Structure 1
Amino acid sequence: MAVTVVFLGPLRDLAREPERQVDAPLDWERLLAMVGPEIAGQLRDDRVNVACAGRVLSDKMQLNAQDGDEVALLPPVSGG
């Protein structure tokens, strides 16, 4: 019974891994606790989105990932 948390872009560099398996269920507070303070600080930024089961959450603090879900952490897109 697990949720896969996927780190994308610079969050992958901070996590030093592309993904991590965590026990289900996973809510916002548990997500912040399991990623550590540096990434949690990034996730609190309004420009960082969270997707669960393929859908970007309009309110990431309502995260409720269940067994088999993938949670993607989406940093802001930059470019020229």
Structure 2
Amino acid sequence: MKVLYFAWLRERLNRASDEIDPPAEVKTLADLVHWLRARDEALDIAMANPALFKLSRDARIVSPDTPIAGAREIAILPPMTGG
């Protein structure tokens, strides 16, 4: 599964994506975010308040309780400001 990072999150992590293979106990997007944060200190710091981020499963914005089974691509979209 591919995880995509967008906007300032991508810049802060210094990468646009990761290829991952989460363990079986990671069942939802919320579980996945928790698992990713536990593995990556920079991501953990950047996502200090995960409720502010939008999550996408296969190019569709979904809620954190969405199952990841069968997903090809997950995107993490940080909060944005506009002008």
Is structure 2 residue 11 aligned with structure 1 residue 9?
no
Structure 1 residues without counterparts, runs of 5 or longer = none
Matching residue of 2:81: 78
TM-score by length of 1: 0.70
Deviations 1:7-38 (A, max 9, x none): 1001101211111101156542323234x133
CA distance in 2, matches of 1:37, 1:55: 27
Say if 2:13 and 2:42, in contact at 8 Å, map to a contact too: no
TM-score by length of 2: 0.68
Secondary structure of 1:76's aligned partner? coil
- Aligned-CA RMSD value: 2.3
Matching residue of 1:31: 36
Pairs aligned (count): 75
CA distance in 2, matches of 1:15, 1:71: 16
